Amino acid sequence: MTLAQSGRWLTGIGLLLLGGVYVRALAFTPVELHQGPAQKIFYVHVPAAWSSMLAMGLVGLASILYLLVRDTRYDRFAAASAEVGTVFACVMLTTGPLWAKPVWGTWWTWDARLTLTLMLFFIFIGYQLLRGAVTDPALRARYAAVVGICGLVLLPFIHLSVYLFRTLHPQPIVLKPSAPSAPPEMVTTLLLSVGVFSLLYLGFVIQRYALGGGGAARNV
């Protein structure tokens, strides 16, 4: 089976499972007390956020590896991961406000996590734009790697500075020192969703990687 085919299989399975997770989320998971049905977006929003962070992390890692060994496969992977990451970031940035409006009463707020995710989106966009503006493949790979690494290192600083600034986002309910404070069904649904999104990430990246190219503008 070729790489592209395995990618398509993974994506297919992922989408099917995604459907399954939705059904579970909508029908078999309790409705949250304070937020109501709108809270269900949580099961899409959080995994999308997680996937975009994963994508960025892998872009950074692949960039470092590329600069060390100059294997173009790392560059192709970074490009694929960045594209997929951008898509997930978009999902995250659209589902977020859809969730926020009914629950918080506002579409957007500048707390630590939102600002971080918005900046992550901008870093992805900048990365893509740079790739598109350079025609020479070797140059493009090097430039992209530099930006990818800088972007990755930047994220903790953004998080820290905005966190010190203000916090409004719901406090973590799963990844915190004490036991998760949500009912087990919700946690399970969330974890299932995260798993499925990771699978989708993998499927998308493999397909994109298999398509090849580095993303330069067409008119060479």
What are the residues binding other proteins (CB under 8 A)? 67, 115, 119, 122-123, 125-126, 129-130, 133-134, 136-139, 142-143, 145-147, 149-151, 153-154, 157-158, 160-162, 164-165
Contact 95, 41 (CB under 8 A): yes
CB of 44 to other proteins, least distance (A): 25
User: Which residues are bridge partners to 36 per DSSP?
Assistant: 32
CB of 178 to other proteins, least distance (A): 26
CB of 106 to other proteins, least distance (A): 20
CB of 95 to other proteins, least distance (A): 22
Quick one: 67 or 210, whose CB is closer to other proteins?
67
Burial of residue 176 (number of CB atoms within 10 Å: 0-12, 13-18, 19+): exposed
User: Which token pair is 164?
Assistant: 């010190």
User: Which residues are bridge partners to 32 per DSSP?
Assistant: 36
Quick one: 150 or 191, whose CB is closer to other proteins?
150
CA distance 25 to 31: 9
Quick one: 8 or 159, whose CB is closer to other proteins?
159
CB of 71 to other proteins, least distance (A): 12
CB of 140 to other proteins, least distance (A): 9
Quick one: 31 or 217, whose CB is closer to other proteins?
217
Kindly give the interhelix angle for 72-104 and 137-165, rounded to the nearest 10 degrees: 30
CA distance 27 to 67: 48
Which is nearest to 200 in space by CA: 61, 95, 86, 51?
51
Residues ≥6 apart with Cβ < 8 Å to 142: 67
Quick one: 15 or 119, whose CB is closer to other proteins?
119
Quick one: 2 or 219, whose CB is closer to other proteins?
219
